Every structure is written in structure tokens, then in C-alpha cells.
């Protein structure tokens, strides 16, 4: 078994051991920043966006919402501390 498969199995084994409440909390730590980023992207389009339509990101609400969600996804593990063995 290659090292990547071992790591994936280890991650899934740990996830299976969680209670439903712990799974909900761990899932919310991932999805809440994405939702906040998507909301921020849409608000940027709505209040600041490009009126002329020449701006590739801010002229379309779907694209600006997607970019906001991507920024939120990048912020998920930005300040998380890792455990040292």
C-alpha cells in the first residue's frame, strides 16, 4: 500500500470514530468559511461590481460568488495548528 493510501485510510478511520455531533462541528469548520466567502463575493458584486460589464470577475454574480467561495475555502486551514508526533 502506498503512503497516500495509508494516510487516507488513517483520516477516514478517525472520521468514522467521531460522534454525530463531532462530525457536524468538523463539517461546519469547513463549510462556514466557504459560505461566508461566497456571501462576501456576491456582496462585492452587488455593491462594488463593474457596471460596464468589462470586468471579468465583478461583472457576473456567479463568477464573483465563486471567487469569494474559493477565498473562503483557502481560509479554512489558514491558522490551524497541526499536531506534532
Which pLDDT score is estimated for 44?
A: 92
- Whole-prediction pTM: 0.65
CB-side neighbour CA atoms (13 Å) of 29:
10
**CB-based contact 58:49 (threshold 8 Å):** yes
Cβ atoms within 10 Å, residue 72: 21
Nearest to 47 by CA among 68, 33, 29: 68
The answer to whether residue 79 scores a pLDDT higher than 90 is no
Contact 35, 72 (CB under 8 A): yes
Tens of pLDDT along 10-44? Answer: 555 665 676 777 767 777 778 888 999 999 999 99
**84 — pLDDT class (breaks 50, 70, 90):** low
pLDDT cut 90: percent of the chain above it: 27
Q: For 2, phi and psi rounded to 5 degrees?
A: -75, 165
Residue 25 pLDDT: 74
Q: Could you report the per-residue pLDDT of 41-70, keeping only the tens digit for each?
A: 999 999 988 878 788 888 889 999 999 999
Amino acid at each position: 500500500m502506498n503512503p497516500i493510501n495509508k494516510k487516507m485510510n488513517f483520516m477516514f478511520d478517525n472520521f468514522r470514530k467521531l460522534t454525530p455531533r463531532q462530525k457536524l462541528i468538523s463539517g461546519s469548520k469547513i463549510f462556514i468559511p466557504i459560505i461566508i466567502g461566497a456571501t462576501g463575493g456576491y456582496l462585492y458584486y452587488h455593491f462594488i461590481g463593474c457596471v460596464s460589464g468589462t470586468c471579468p470577475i465583478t461583472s457576473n454574480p456567479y463568477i464573483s460568488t465563486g471567487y469569494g467561495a474559493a477565498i473562503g475555502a483557502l481560509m479554512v486551514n489558514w491558522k490551524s495548528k497541526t499536531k506534532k508526533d
